[in-house]
Structures are given as C-alpha cells and as structure tokens.
Amino acid sequence: MEVSNTKQQHQSASISLTKPVRCIVKLGGAAITCKNELETINEENLKTVSSQLRQSMTTGSNSGEVLGMDWSKQPGESEISSPISDFEDRPVVDSSPFIVVHGAGSFGHFQASKSGVHKGGLYQPLVKAGFVATRISVTKLNLEIVRALAREGIPSVGMSPFSCGWSTRERNIASADLSAVAKAIESGLVPVLHGDAVLDDLLDCTILSGDVIISNLAAHLKPEYVVFLTDVPGVYDRPPSEPNAVLLREIAVGKDGSWSIEKPTLQNKNKQVETSVAAHDTTGGMLTKISEAAAIAKLGIDVYIVEAATSHALRALSGELKGNLPDDWLGTVIRFSNK
C-alpha cells in the first residue's frame, strides 16, 4: 500500500488553544466528487455537506439569513455581488472550532498514479511534471470546497500541507507544522486542508493522504470527536457492492492498537474486514481510513464513519451520538476500549 502513514520521525510541537477543537471532519473524495469523471465535483452533495457543517458548528444557524463569504465573480454574472452592508450590523456568531480535511476523489489521483508521484523520484521528468500537475488539481478542488463553505457563511481558509511545510521521510510524516492551523482556529477561521503531494527526505516526493493528515491533527489538537464523511453508509465486512455485505456499527480499538468488531456479532468473529481500492487511488482507500481511524480512537477520541449528505451525517457532525448509538442511526463508530 503506497501511502504515507503516521509513524513520525519528528513530532509537531504541542499545540495549546484557548478554545479546543470540537470536531475534525474528513470529506471523502468519493463523496464530494464524481470519482469516475475526471475533475468533476458532486455539486449537490457538496452543497448539502456545506449546509450541514454550518448547522453543526454554528449555534442557532438553522434560522435567519445565511450571509455568504464568497465574493468572487459568479458564472454568468457581469459584476461581483456581495452583501457587504448586511454584515455591518450583524451580531458576532458563536461557533465551535471545526477543521475540515478533504480527499481528492477525481482530482489529483489520476495525475499522481499516471506519473508515479507516490513512488518518489522527483528527479525524473515525468514524476516532476506529475508532482506539479497533481498539486494543481488538488488545490483546484480545495478552492472550490472553500468557496462552497464560504457560500454557507463558514469563514473557511484553504491550507495546503505542502505550502504549510508538511513533509515525509519514506512516506512517514517527518514534519507537520501546525502553527498556521492553530492561528487560523484562534482567529475564528475554519482551516480546510487536503491530501497533497509533498516532499520526502528519502524518496524525493510522495502523496500524503487526507486520512493520515487527520490522524496527525487529532493527535496534537485533541478534538472531541472526528467524522469521516464517505460515499457509503459506513464500514462493511466486505466491499458494500458484494452480496450480503454487513454494515459494522461499532469497532473497538484496544490499548495495543488492535481492533475488533463489537456490533453486530458476526458468525466468524475473527474475520478481517475486506476492502477494495480503485486502480487510480494512490492513498490506500478504506484500509487506510480504518487504520487511521483506529489510531485516533486509541487516543480516546470517537470516530464516526457515515454517508455524506444524509441525516445520519448531520447527527454525527452535531455531536449527538456520544454514548450509546441510537438504533435508527446508520454508520460506523470506532471507539477505544480498555477491555
């Protein structure tokens, strides 16, 4: 599996925030893009996800007019329209600190896999060109996600790991400067990071996945909970497209980092979860997601994996699933267990 992981040679400095992070959200690439259509955003899903994020992070956001913050020129319009005057008498909105990290989906993966960026070798012309092309693609998506969030009144700012000084050493995170992320949070902004092409001390370059980024952020910023928004209802015992696939409602993570299926009870309790990875996916797919979620849960932080743009996602984002899971909630929770 060719993907950076969280075994770090150099740990980020301890981060202290005056207002702790409530939630880190991973927007799965397959949930917000049309993964089989090159560089195509799933506009409907992204709009719904953005609205649900606003509802979850802002107190009393279900009522009242939403004042958008994307003041750029819109397609088909000759002028820039902005509700500047509406902000003048607007009371300060109390919101909980969130961090958003998104995958690439149909952006970036094609460029990275065709050029072999994830394997390293930046001195090769094809790899160097692919490195540049990959970053152009993923930052293009990042901008569109930031704009979608801004249109919902979320003060979002794009932050690329490469530009923020993140790097790896043989695909393990070697340096992750979180100072810019921390300053953004303290300033009342919502950082929006993404999977990125980064420099590697030994390989020259590689791909740093959004799932690995979230694990690092969780370890240093200690959010109350983490939510992975995906294109399926949760984690299954096999690819959900296969017959008789079973949704796993709860996975327990032990002190040693090992994990086991708690609910439902399967006939073969020792059965390992089977996963599938798209041919162009250079980040490890669901297997990486589960591994990183388990690493987060080991810290005592609950992780919810749920289908994006659904009522189940909104409940997870809102933080109402602590304790026993409601029977009518569809998704997977990964939790620490000291049994």
CATH number of 23-57+94-336: 3.40.1160.10
Binding residues: 104-105, 109, 210, 231, 285, 289
Binding residues for substrate: 104, 109, 210
> Mean of the per-residue pLDDT values for the chain?
87
Using CA atoms, how far apart are residues 235 and 228, in angstroms rounded to an integer? 11
Residue type, position 247, single letter: L
191-226 pLDDT, tens digit each: 999 999 999 999 999 999 999 999 999 999 999 999
28-67 pLDDT, tens digit each: 999 999 988 999 999 999 999 999 999 999 865 455 678 8
Burial class of residue 261, CB neighbours in 10 A (0-12, 13-18, 19+): buried
Would you tell me how many other CB atoms lie within 10 Å of the CB of residue 8? 16
The tokens of 125 are what? 């012309």
Contact by Cβ (8 Å): 300, 254: no
| pTM of structure | 0.90
Using CA atoms, how far apart are residues 74 and 78, in angstroms rounded to an integer? 8
Contact by Cβ (8 Å): 50, 154: yes
Binding residues for ATP: 105, 231, 285, 289
195-222 burial, b for 16+ CB within 10 Å, e for fewer? bbbbbbeebbbbbbbbbbbbbbbbbbbe
Using CA atoms, how far apart are residues 149 and 1, in angstroms rounded to an integer? 32
Contact by Cβ (8 Å): 157, 138: no
Using CA atoms, how far apart are residues 45 and 230, in angstroms rounded to an integer? 11
Q: Please say whether the dihedral angle defined by the alpha carbons of residues 32, 34, 35 and 38, taken in this order, is positive or negative.
A: negative
Terminal Cα distance for the chain, rounded: 30
Domain ranges of the chain: 23-57+94-336
